Structure 1
């Protein structure tokens, strides 16, 4: 190729020169890139700005901008706004329920803004980019309210509103089933009221709580079907429960008492057997097949406490029986179920009793009586002593003598003996049990145990220590003490032909407990009273009345620990004469 040709080729392939005043394409591209970069840099900066801080930009709560703040700073800002609004937020809120109106004090129903929960909701907010850049993302405050207290306040203010729901049910009149058909209602719903108040209170608005329409899930047709298929055949005859120890008959009356056909919260009837009612209705019938467990206890063996092991019993599994009964109650024939006798362990185990620390006698007290053990009064003393003997009182437990023995009547083996009634001695069932009460009181008194309830006699009898003695009369007058030690205690009773003794066995707390008495004061003499002669008249010689104090003194480690004062005013017992 010639050089001139080469030059011509170069000239012919070169781009034509650009018109004057117009940039080249490459230049235009460079300029466009530069302009794009100029625009994108602020946008990127804006996006980065919108996503800074724990609370997203643009988020407000109660008109306070929290966007871009950390949790702590957002919480401080919100608390400051709440402080600013404190007076408005504390003002009563008007709540309307149908035609009724209530003025609700926010503090009375626990209305409050949960700042921490509100800040957490603000952090979790997801506003769009526009809202982040230019604002407008509002988060509602998290408001707390005591739903139960609010419901009580509203019901007291507006009374009965709406139409109550009639829940479906089938009840028994004896052994005759009576249907209760469902009826829909409009009710004040606590949850709805709470939601409405939470939403309206921060804005200071009057709120209206709508009534809730409630329709029971069970229909009248369902009740009729349940009546025919279960309620009526259920009491058509007895059910025989077979066990390895014999049979138990469940009569229709027991079935009617324990079969529950009542609606739940949504108005649905789910038949069930009330286990406690079933057991109560069967009563003595269970005694033929059940064996009561025996608790572990402590007895005195050669003058030393000894743990006696508990023994398992057998108890009819009434929970399983209730389930099985439901399967046969719809039938009118072949009404037999197999009962299960489950192991009934003792309520108090060997280990528990051993841990009580009953190891020594810590107190004992004796009072004397006359007439020998054949006398009615002596018989009553021994009867109550035998009932209480061997009782274990756990640490922290309060012992009630009336609660332990129940009513002391002829049925329990008590006899008529003199008791104080209306200021004079008359024959009464259980006379003499006050002597045992006084003996027990003194045994617990000298053991240093806490006195909970006792009352001295109206008149002083020389067989009792003055002031520190106690009467008893079921059910109004009781004797109670509390075992305020960390150890269990055993009450041991014993008697002779003319005395009753009560001892407390436990672990000794005090070196000694003693009594000091003040001199008697305000002494009064008995008057003479003539009574109608007859078997109810008991003559007396009369006893002086007086006031006296007694101090229970506790000693430990050779020092007086404390004193406890008891005081009592005895009336003068009249000299009762039978006849003129």
Structure 2
């Protein structure tokens, strides 16, 4: 009947004795897995289960790959005991590991110092910021010059200086030469108070914390007054004083009579110019600063005339005689003014400079002479600006006319397009 029975090989396979069914697959004890079951990758086989022969279609099938075998677990590291918390009062519990040292509490004194220091820093920063806000002007708040507050804009500061010291800076210095009292005008001696430069130096923000914070408490910021000295001009003025005050005289030419008169010099006591420069400069600074200056005694020395007879003769021939030889005329635009024997002696003179006689013009007397003659006449300057005729313009033209030898050369026109 039917197909082969259990244990009977299929057709085409050799016959063999399978033996008893119970011995076909002997019992096999699998090693226990991690949970006690069969080992991973094994298939359980029961003794009462008969083997099953593969059909003919499996004859040429590839053999199944062996199932992977999990590696046996390696030895586990020993477990470390958990640390035991310290007992009461920080004592270590018996059998526990070494106890950690308790942190030291912060000192209260140090904390207060840190807070105090932080507060001071904050206060200083706030004060510094407030000081900067107060110092936003051109000249910072509290800036003084010779005791006068000039804080504010630059124009305001210049006005304050001129109002406070303008009269003082123009007042004549009282001097004494060989017991004789003489006066020296600062503007003619090159002595000035430069308000513009003083303000320019004082202007600008001062970021020094001491100065900035000090302004909040009314602390002054002192600026120096700038008083430049034209030393060459001062020496010329002192030489003139020495000629009029001492017993020594310098050779010169006078025009008092309307004609040039040569006056030789002579030896004697005269002003020590080198020793007087610093004294005059100091006296001017005191006069501007306080408004008062006692008469200054200037040193004298024995002097010989520096102008020789030969120089005196040259000055007479080249300037003095031509200057007084006739009338000269100065023109500007459509206006003109003649100068003659009556007006010229008030305007021109000769003075010794380094042993040489040079002509000198009294600009105040010159302006008084021509008055408003040239009013309305404008001169174009090198900058392109147009300004009115000045005494310097008239003096320059007059000097050229005075040495003219012909009538045409003794008429000089001021160039109104000098630019």
Report TM bin, short chain: 0.3 to 0.5
Q: Answer with 1 or 2: which has the greater Rg.
A: 2
If the length of structure 1 is used for normalisation, what is the TM-score? 0.26
Could you say which structure has the greater relative contact order, defined with CA pairs below 8 angstroms and 6 or more residues apart?
Answer: 2
